[in-house]
Amino acid sequence: MSILLTLAMQSMNSLIEKGEVQIEDVPSTSSEKLDLRGIVVDADHLAGWSLDVYDKFRNFADKANSPCLLVRDNTVLEFGDQKSEDSVERIRRLSVAANRLGCNAIAITPHFPDDEQRAAHIIEQLRSTMQYVERLELNLLLQPSEGLTSKPDPHIDIIKQVGGFRIGALPTFSAAIATGDGIGALQKLAPYAGAIIADFPTGRGKKAISLEDGLQAVIDVGYSNTIALNYTGSGSPIPQLSKASKALYAYLEAGD
């Protein structure tokens, strides 16, 4: 399997909010203007969608040769008392959405406090919820968050404790940089990753990770899956994404 360059729909939020790009046009924009072959859908984009709308969007994406690969939820999920029920229900709703969109995974952002007993409770909740996710033939990816998953080693340990073949990580360049060792964090998590979010521009000075350096870092440890470009700057996203896409394709071709 080779690296698949894709688009994180979050990159397009500024244009979507202004009405300059319609959500249903994002797959064709991804394919035709950016030469990216797939999209990571943010959970926020799905608010109010019916099953019919999921099916229509999936058709738009498939016809544009930029299929939906992952539903990503950036909402930090808390587990405890009523919050556990709410979080589990959210995961189930996201799973249904991902299944209808034709994705192979959902990514969630659970908060694991640095408390052994509470962490064990959350792991048990996720282990139980995995049964529902697996019935829909989806993978569950854990995105880094404040708490235990903010560092790669405990993040990996949590994945192992949940267990199974359909649990993994969703590393992000931003979270990796926040550890103080961006390249090291990416390389530790990459073997467990179902996809990687390549945020740019991100970091400053020596802590910054260029797209090329981040890409090479994960390739060096055998990663060969999805890289989703996520523009986080304040400028117009399409020119920046197009420039990044061309640069990474050139980099990959040079390395072949």
Check pLDDT > 60 for residue 149.
Answer: yes
| Mean pLDDT, the chain, whole residue set | 94
pLDDT tens readout for residues 48-79:
999 999 999 999 999 999 999 999 999 999 98
The answer to whether residue 163 scores a pLDDT higher than 60 is: yes
Predicted model pTM: 0.96
User: What is each CA distance from 7 to 2, 12, 96, 152, 251, in whole angstroms?
Assistant: 16, 9, 21, 24, 18
* Interval 68-94 mean pLDDT: 92
pLDDT band at 80 (very low <50, low <70, confident <90, very high): confident
For residue 223, CA distances in Å to 29, 100, 194 come to 27, 27, 10
Query: What is residue 208's predicted lDDT score, i.e. its pLDDT?
Result: 85
Q: Is residue 252 classed as helix, strand or coil in its secondary structure?
A: helix
Whether CATH 3.20.20.150 fits 4-255: yes
> How many CB atoms sit inside 10 A of residue 253's CB?
8
Asked if the model's pLDDT at residue 33 lies above 90, the reply is yes
- Cα R_g (the chain), whole angstroms: 18
Q: Taking residues 121-147, what's their average pLDDT?
A: 95
CB 85 within 8 A of CB 108: no
The stretches of 8-50 forming alpha helices (DSSP H) are 13-18, 26-28
Cα 234 to Cα 54: distance, rounded to the nearest angstrom = 29
The full set of domain ranges for the chain reads 4-255
Query: What mean pLDDT is predicted for residues 216-232?
Result: 97
Helices and strands per DSSP (H, E), number in the chain: 10, 8
What digits encode the pLDDT tens for the residues 169-201? 999 999 999 999 999 999 999 999 999 999 999
Please return the burial class of 42, using the count of CB atoms within 10 Å of its CB with bins 0-12, 13-18 and 19+.
buried
pLDDT value at 7 more than 70: yes
| Span 230-250, pLDDT tens digits | 999 988 999 999 999 999 999
Paired with 161 in beta bridges are: none
Structure tokens at 233: 């700057």
The runs of H, that is alpha helices, within the chain are: 13-18, 26-28, 51-63, 82-101, 116-135, 152-162, 173-178, 182-189, 211-220, 237-255
Query: Are 24 and 46 a contacting pair, CB within 8 Å?
Result: no
CA angle 101, 76, 191 (to 5 degrees): 70
